[in-house]
């Protein structure tokens, strides 16, 4: 039941981002910011971090800064900008540990979990950049469908041998079908996007479904939002490399 609820939440968030991307860039940035917020609110609980509130605040600031920078600084090289943000986020994670007054228990786990969550929300900024690729807003639609279909597949009970590969197949098929509704129809970028996006979704599902706080409400929502967030820059990079 937990897996089904998390998958449904992921599908809903992917649909929200996809719809917002078709409507307008400001609405897209707001939708991606909401995804970042959901990850930030539950990341510390999901990963069982010793100071979830402080870690969550850092995750939120990092993610929103990435979205804002890509939305309001279009002339800057986006991937270079996100790399710089990542470097700063690592420093902030260590600063957060220095400010703790609880004896800094589980120091390594805290730093690792915080930085990992910051990376996930920084990748969300790629959603804002997708309209700049050759597919335009169609790239958002294709990526959102791939995420939703692959994520829904992870909730379907099936043997482990099949279940590990099923999201790759369904996510890629979903991307190809979605590409039929874009102008122009671009099959190769759709296949590449579907494969890479599905790989991220399947990987995060395997990693997070057994996380310490996966059965709590905040943790479940964070686990649901994390794949939607993480595929943003992945989809952008693939679309730019393959589609131009």
Measured distance CA(55)–CA(40) in Å, rounded: 8
Contact 33, 153 (CB under 8 A): no
Q: pLDDT by residue for the chain (244 residues), tens digit each?
A: 677 888 899 999 999 999 999 898 999 999 999 999 999 999 999 999 988 999 999 999 999 999 998 888 766 677 778 888 889 989 999 998 888 877 777 788 889 999 999 999 999 999 998 888 777 788 899 999 999 999 999 888 877 777 778 888 999 999 999 988 887 778 888 899 999 999 999 889 888 888 888 889 999 999 999 999 999 999 998 888 886 5
Instruction: Provide the whole-model pTM.
Output: 0.91
Q: Is the dihedral of CA 98, 100, 104, 110 positive or negative?
A: negative
In degrees, rounded to 5, the angle at the alpha carbon of residue 82 between the alpha carbons of residues 81 and 85 is: 90
CB 144 within 8 A of CB 197: no
Contact present, 96 and 114 (Cβ < 8 Å): yes
Residue 85, CA distances (Å) to 79, 80, 159, 232 in order: 10, 9, 40, 16
Q: What is the dihedral of CA 13, 19, 21, 24, to 10 degrees?
A: -130
Distance from C-alpha of 229 to C-alpha of 201, rounded to nearest angstrom: 10
- The pair phi, psi for residue 25, each rounded to 5°, is -60, -45
CB 143 within 8 A of CB 198: no
Q: 83 vs 58, 105, 127, 227, 234, CA distance in Å? A: 16, 29, 16, 20, 14
Which residue's structure tokens are 């078709």?
22
Nearest one of 41, 94, 88 to 69, comparing CA atoms: 88
Q: CA-to-CA distance for 132 and 124, rounded, in angstroms?
A: 15
Q: Residue 172: in which H helix or E strand, if any?
A: helix 166-179
Map out the domains of the chain as residue ranges.
2-243
Instruction: Answer whether 221's CB lies under 8 Å from 38's CB.
Output: yes
């Amino acid at each position: 039941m937990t897996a089904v609820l998390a998958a449904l939440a992921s599908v809903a968030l992917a649909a929200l981002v996809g719809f917002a991307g078709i409507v307008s860039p400001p609405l897209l940035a707001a939708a991606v910011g909401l995804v970042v917020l959901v990850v930030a609110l539950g990341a510390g609980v999901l990963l069982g971090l010793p100071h979830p509130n402080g870690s969550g605040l850092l995750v939120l600031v990092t993610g929103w800064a990435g979205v804002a920078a890509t939305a309001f600084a279009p002339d800057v090289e986006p991937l270079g900008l996100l790399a710089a943000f990542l470097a700063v986020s690592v420093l902030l994670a260590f600063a957060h540990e220095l400010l703790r007054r609880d004896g800094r228990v589980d120091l390594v786990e805290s730093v690792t979990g915080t930085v990992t969550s910051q990376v996930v929300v920084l990748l969300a900024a790629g959603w804002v950049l997708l309209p700049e690729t050759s597919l335009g807003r169609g790239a958002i639609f294709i990526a959102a469908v791939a995420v939703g279909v692959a994520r829904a597949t992870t909730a379907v009970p099936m043997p482990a041998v099949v279940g590990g590969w099923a999201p790759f197949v369904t996510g890629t098929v979903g991307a190809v079908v979605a590409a039929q509704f874009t102008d122009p129809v671009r099959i190769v970028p759709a296949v590449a996007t579907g494969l890479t996006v599905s790989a991220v979704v399947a990987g995060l599902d395997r990693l997070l479904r057994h996380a310490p706080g996966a059965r709590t409400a905040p943790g479940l929502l964070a686990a649901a939002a994390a794949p939607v967030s993480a595929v943003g820059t992945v989809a952008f990079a693939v679309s730019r490399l393959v589609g131009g």
